[in-house]
Structure formats: structure tokens, C-alpha cells
């Protein structure tokens, strides 16, 4: 099996050491209140923290995907994203930003006008049918996530005959379409917490290694999600330990990217898991992304 790589901002990045993606939400209503950053100082502080803690990617969202989140107009979403992207480009040039949006035009503008490096689409091209045709000529990695319905309706779409079989078929069909359009870098996201019950989320995690069949980069996004605090009790704020456990399990079962609120802890999990098998090189994740090709 070939080594997995991603072309990020013109750099061929190896995934032999999993990457950590730090979450930055410029929203007033994301489910974890500590992740909401709406002032210039707060955005700058958050990005600096992600990079200093060795996060490789900043995942920027302007539309909360929690089930009871309010609808956000395309104009308002773009305004929020542009606000943060301007700050990042000015204060942290060269940072790899993943833009979290299911709208094709928003994705295009963020990449072409503001230099976003990755498109992260929670809907797998379902909400905006123009997404695949739009992202193909942008030549950036595309995160393909499994979800049914919309963020508002997904809790009503958990009735699977065979959940794993349906997720695999869903992803396989979309990967084929993306490859035919010329999208070379497709990252798979099984969609923890999206149109899945707590028990279904744990079944999905327990079978995460089955996604190796695709031989594509695999992202795990379980940070402080309800599958932790509904099972253990508590709240998102009390779910760091559960997150660390699940991140470690995900790494041991094929995850190449961790999308997290708590970058330092995730980076430590990557280092410990890697130490169990091979000595870590000295180059950090963020250094790998900011070093141009020779």
C-alpha cells in the first residue's frame, strides 16, 4: 500500500504522521462555547494557539452544524469566513486553512479570493449539487463526509438497514464521481455525530479500520461530541478525557487527521501512538506544511 500524501498549498505532505486540525468557529452558536471566536483578538489568539500547539491545519467554520442551529444566509456565512480569513492571511501568512462549508460558491470564494487550502463539506455534495463541479478546478483537497439530510433534520435520519454497508456505498459512489472530475485529494470523514445515534457512533468507531479499503486519507472528528457526554454524562466542556480516548482509538485504527478543539492533547496522542511503533522525526506538523517544495 502506497504512503498517503496530500497536496496542501503546493506542498506534498506525508500522512505517515497523522495531522491535527484545530477548530476555529466564527459563529455565535457552535455546540462547544469555548470554540466560538467572534472578535479580531479572539480569532488571532485562537489561530496562534493552534499553531503554537503544533496544529497543522486550521478548520474554519461560519455555520454551526449542530442539530438545532439557526439557518445562516450565504451572505452572512461568507462575511464571517472572510473576516477570519483576512486576519489569518495578515497575521499568519502561509497557514493551511480548511474552510468548513457545504455551499459551492462560498468554497470557491474562500479558495480563490482568500487562499483557503482545503474544502471541508459536511454534506458530501448533497446540499449544494454544484459542489463537486466547483471544487474540481480549484485543485485543493476535499473532505467528503457522510451525512443524511441537513444539520437541522439529521437526527431524523438514523434508520439504517446496514449502517456500515450504506456508508461505504455512499462514500464509494462519491469518491468515484470526484475522481472522474479530477479531484485527486479526497479525504474521507465517516461523519461521527451526523445522522447517527450514540450506539451507531460507537459501532462506527469500532469498525473504523474498515475504511482502509479505500486507501484514502481518513479524518476522525469526534472532539467533545454528544457520543461522549451522552454516554458518560456531563457536557461538552467535560468531555476532554473521552475525546482523548476516542482520538487514540481512531489513530490506532487508521485515522490520518484528527479534527479537534484541544490541539495540544491531540498532538500528544499522535506522538504517543507513533512512539509505540516508530521513533518520531523531529520536524513538526506545522513546519511540514509551511516548508515549500524544493
From CA 138, how far away is CA 117, in angstroms rounded? Answer: 10
* Domain total of the chain: 1
Position 21 scores a pLDDT of 98
Percent of the chain whose predicted confidence (pLDDT) is above 70: 89
| pLDDT at 204 > cutoff 90 | yes
Evaluate whether 193 touches 163 at the Cβ level (below 8 Å). no
Position 241 scores a pLDDT of 96
| pLDDT at 66 > cutoff 80 | no
In this structure, the number of other CB atoms found within 10 A of the CB of residue 140 comes to 24
Look at residue 56 and tell me if it is in a domain.
yes
| pLDDT at 75 > cutoff 70 | yes
Which H or E run includes 76?
A: helix 74-91
Q: 55 is written with which cell numbers? A: 496544529
Active site residues: 225, 259
Look at residue 293 and tell me if it is in a domain.
no
Look at residue 294 and tell me if it is in a domain.
no
| pLDDT at 27 > cutoff 90 | no
Position 37 scores a pLDDT of 63
9 Rama sector, left if φ>0, alpha if ψ -120 to 50, beta otherwise: left
> Which pLDDT band holds residue 29 (cuts at 50, 70, 90)?
low
**What confidence tens digit (pLDDT) does each residue in 150-190 have?**
777 777 788 999 999 999 999 999 999 999 999 999 999 99
Which of the pair, 35 or 61, is modelled with greater confidence?
61
From CA 29, how far away is CA 211, in angstroms rounded? Answer: 32
Evaluate whether 148 touches 171 at the Cβ level (below 8 Å). no
Position 293 scores a pLDDT of 45
Structure pTM?
0.90
Q: Which of 24-28, 81-85, 275-279 has the lowest mean pLDDT?
A: 275-279
Position 146 scores a pLDDT of 96
User: Which CATH number belongs to the domain containing residue 111 in this structure?
Assistant: 3.20.20.20
What is the pLDDT averaged over residues 270-278?
90
Range of the domain at 39: 17-281
From CA 148, how far away is CA 16, in angstroms rounded? Answer: 31
| pLDDT at 28 > cutoff 70 | yes
**What confidence tens digit (pLDDT) does each residue in 205-260 have?**
999 999 999 999 999 999 999 999 999 999 999 999 999 999 999 999 999 999 99
**What confidence tens digit (pLDDT) does each residue in 76-125 have?**
999 999 999 999 999 999 999 999 999 999 999 999 999 999 999 999 99
Look at residue 189 and tell me if it is in a domain.
yes
Look at residue 32 and tell me if it is in a domain.
yes
Q: 101 is written with which cell numbers? A: 462549508
Q: What is the mean pLDDT of the chain?
A: 90
From CA 158, how far away is CA 177, in angstroms rounded? Answer: 25
What is the pLDDT averaged over residues 54-83?
87
What is the pLDDT averaged over residues 2-30?
89
Which residues neighbour 134 within 8 Å (Cβ) at sequence distance 6 or greater?
104, 105, 107, 108
Look at residue 12 and tell me if it is in a domain.
no
Position 36 scores a pLDDT of 57
Position 182 scores a pLDDT of 97
Look at residue 9 and tell me if it is in a domain.
no
Position 156 scores a pLDDT of 78
Give the residue from 266, 120, 129, 138 showing the smallest Cα distance to 187.
120
Look at residue 246 and tell me if it is in a domain.
yes
Position 149 scores a pLDDT of 75
Position 46 scores a pLDDT of 94
From CA 158, how far away is CA 148, in angstroms rounded? Answer: 8
Amino acid at each position: 500500500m502506497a504512503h498517503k500524501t496530500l497536496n496542501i498549498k503546493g506542498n506534498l505532505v506525508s500522512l505517515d504522521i497523522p495531522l491535527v486540525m484545530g477548530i476555529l468557529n466564527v459563529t455565535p452558536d457552535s455546540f462547544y462555547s469555548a470554540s466560538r471566536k467572534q472578535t479580531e483578538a479572539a480569532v488571532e489568539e485562537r489561530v496562534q494557539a493552534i499553531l503554537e500547539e503544533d496544529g497543522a491545519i486550521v478548520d474554519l467554520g461560519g455555520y454551526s452544524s449542530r442539530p438545532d442551529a439557526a439557518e445562516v444566509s450565504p451572505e452572512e456565512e461568507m462575511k464571517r469566513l472572510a473576516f477570519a480569513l483576512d486576519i489569518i492571511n495578515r497575521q499568519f501568512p502561509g497557514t493551511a486553512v480548511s474552510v468548513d462549508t457545504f455551499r459551492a460558491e462560498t468554497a470557491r470564494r474562500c479558495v480563490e479570493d482568500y487562499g483557503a487550502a482545503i474544502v471541508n463539506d459536511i454534506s458530501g455534495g448533497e446540499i449544494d449539487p454544484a459542489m463537486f463541479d466547483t471544487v474540481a478546478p480549484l485543485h485543493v483537497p476535499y473532505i467528503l463526509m457522510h451525512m443524511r439530510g441537513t444539520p437541522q433534520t439529521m437526527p431524523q435520519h438514523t434508520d439504517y438497514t446496514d449502517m456500515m454497508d450504506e456508508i461505504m456505498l455512499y462514500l464509494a459512489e462519491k469518491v468515484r464521481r470526484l475522481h472522474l472530475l479530477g479531484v485527486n485529494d479526497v479525504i474521507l470523514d465517516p461523519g461521527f455525530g451526523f445522522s447517527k445515534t450514540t450506539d451507531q457512533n460507537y459501532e462506527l468507531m469500532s469498525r473504523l479500520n474498515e475504511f482502509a479499503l479505500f486507501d484514502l486519507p481518513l479524518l476522525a472528528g469526534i472532539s467533545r461530541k454528544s457520543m461522549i457526554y451522552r454516554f458518560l454524562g456531563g457536557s461538552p466542556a467535560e468531555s476532554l478525557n473521552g475525546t482523548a480516548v476516542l482520538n487514540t482509538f481512531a489513530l490506532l485504527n487508521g485515522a490520518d487527521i484528527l479534527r479537534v478543539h484541544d490541539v495540544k492533547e491531540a498532538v500528544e496522542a499522535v506522538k504517543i501512538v507513533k512512539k509505540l511503533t516508530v521513533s518520531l522525526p523531529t520536524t513538526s506538523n506545522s513546519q511540514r506544511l509551511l516548508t515549500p517544495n524544493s
